[in-house]
Amino acid sequence: MGYDVIVIGGGPSGLMAAIGAGEEGAKVLLLEKGTKLGRKLAISGGGRCNVTNRLPVEEIVRHIPGNGRFLYSAFSVFNNEDIIRFFERLGVPLKEEDHGRMFPKSDSAQSVVDALVRELGRLGVDVRLESPVADVLYEQGKAVGVTLKSGETITARAVVVAVGGKSVPQTGSTGDGYPWAEKAGHTVTELFPTEVPIVSHEPFIKERTLQGLSLRDVALSVLKPNGKPIITHRMDMLFTHFGISGPAALRCSQFVVKALKKAADGAVEMSIDALPDATQEELFQHFAKLCKEEPKKAMKTIAKTVLPERYAVFLLERAGIDPHASAGTVGHEALRAFVRQCKQFTFSVHGTLPLEKAFVTGGGVSVKEIEPKTMASKCMAGLYFCGEILDIHGYTGGYNITAALVTGRLAGVNAARYALTEKSRISGPTGQTTED
């Protein structure tokens, strides 16, 4: 038997798995198809790598809408605080930013990748780059190794599949692992784009009226057909030439994908509350007072006291008010119509950019068939899964990398323990293995 553990994929989950297995004293091989390790990790968080998040575990789980609860067991073994300590030990101290997001103090994602690669070296993990795996080999209900695209076969007592999802395939994540999981008897749930910009065919989008405009700290909602919100996210957002993007839109995107599946007419309504801290009545009183005090001022000058000018003009026009009209000439009914637009500007969306353009892949290997404390397959002995290949997806903000690192750690450590137990089980009394 060649190796104790083979880890396929050099992303955050695979790097962590290989380190975990190495720490357990296993003979480990990490196989990566690309020319470099951690390519997606190196571009994550805008090149600064949002390694994890410092919110309490319950909050982390809440921010992983795709099966976050499955991670409770894993977090009881290794959690976000452990990740922070782990990187500190590797000489990469982290710092906290808004919303609990943790970044390396160096502001360099590459420093995170380099530290993980150094640790692989220190632990004596064999690494082979440009070695795409074509298949995982199973025999008599056990994973026994892999075949490379080159035709070479490498044997191992345990195999960790850490090949990621299908998003941003130029980083190497091309969905290679799903057929290997299915061959072992696993269910792969439907794949869909998450954390992805949203597409709208509304005339104001097509005409690029608001293109490039970002709105700060707005409440963006995806609406049910009855107008009630399915979900609301309060963050920044951006209008683009095809629709909307930015953190609030990315977080809403998976709910758009799901709602569109049920929508008969291919459209889902979204709404923006541009001033979520004020009620409609408070806003009406605010504008009515300003209009009374400054009757000669242009309406857009009044409106831009609380909104970005382009958005103020856009909403005034939608409320049927000439932005250049003197404030004193605008009646209360028109003013109330404008306030309604400020609080609930509703528009239709029709899709998202494709999975390849999404930050994260939704769906994957069903977590029902994975042991939550070890990441072991319930279908095949010696087979482990970790990272984005699993049906787990979180919001941007460090939640996906956290899930990848935590599941990777568990998969690696437990694959090594399994492999070493198997080895000693088959060893003769002299310690000589009888199967090699």
Cβ proximity to ligand FAD: between 4 and 32 the closer is 32
Cβ proximity to ligand FAD: between 10 and 229 the closer is 10
At its nearest, how many Å lie between ligand FAD and the CB of residue 424? 29
Exposed e or buried b per residue across 50-79, where buried means at least 16 C-beta atoms within 10 angstroms of its C-beta: bbbbbbeeeebbebbbbbbebbeebbeebb
Cβ proximity to ligand FAD: between 302 and 404 the closer is 404
Cβ proximity to ligand FAD: between 29 and 291 the closer is 29
Cβ proximity to ligand FAD: between 35 and 434 the closer is 35
Beta-sheet pairing, 94-96 with 101-104 = antiparallel
At its nearest, how many Å lie between ligand FAD and the CB of residue 85? 18
Q: Residue 198 has which token pair? A: 């949203």
Binding site for ligand FAD (CB under 6 A): 8-14, 31-34, 39-41, 43-45, 50, 132-133, 162-164, 167-168, 172-174, 176, 359-360, 387-388, 396, 398-401, 404
Query: Which residues 6+ apart lie within 8 Å of 126 measured at CB?
Result: 3, 28, 29, 30
Cβ proximity to ligand FAD: between 144 and 401 the closer is 401
The distance of Cα 65 from the centroid of its chain, to the nearest Å, equals: 10
Residue 432, exposed/middle/buried by CB under 10 A (0-12, 13-18, 19+)?
exposed
Query: Which residues 6+ apart lie within 8 Å of 363 measured at CB?
Result: 66, 188, 189, 190, 191, 192, 391, 393
- How far is it, in rounded angstroms, from Cα 100 to Cα 59? 10
- How far is it, in rounded angstroms, from Cα 392 to Cα 153? 30
At its nearest, how many Å lie between ligand FAD and the CB of residue 39? 6
The distance of Cα 281 from the centroid of its chain, to the nearest Å, equals: 38
Q: If you write DSSP's letter for every residue of 291-314 in order, what string do you get?
A: HHH-TTSBHHHHHTTTS-HHHHHH
- Compute how many other C-beta atoms are within 10 angstroms of the C-beta atom of residue 429: 5
At its nearest, how many Å lie between ligand FAD and the CB of residue 342? 32
- How far is it, in rounded angstroms, from Cα 239 to Cα 234? 16
Cβ proximity to ligand FAD: between 20 and 398 the closer is 398
Residues β-bridged to residue 5: 28, 158
At its nearest, how many Å lie between ligand FAD and the CB of residue 119? 16
Instruction: Please check whether residue 382 is in contact with residue 143, taking contact to mean a CB–CB distance below 8 angstroms.
Output: yes
At its nearest, how many Å lie between ligand FAD and the CB of residue 370? 14
At its nearest, how many Å lie between ligand FAD and the CB of residue 76? 20
Cβ proximity to ligand FAD: between 163 and 365 the closer is 163
At its nearest, how many Å lie between ligand FAD and the CB of residue 359? 4
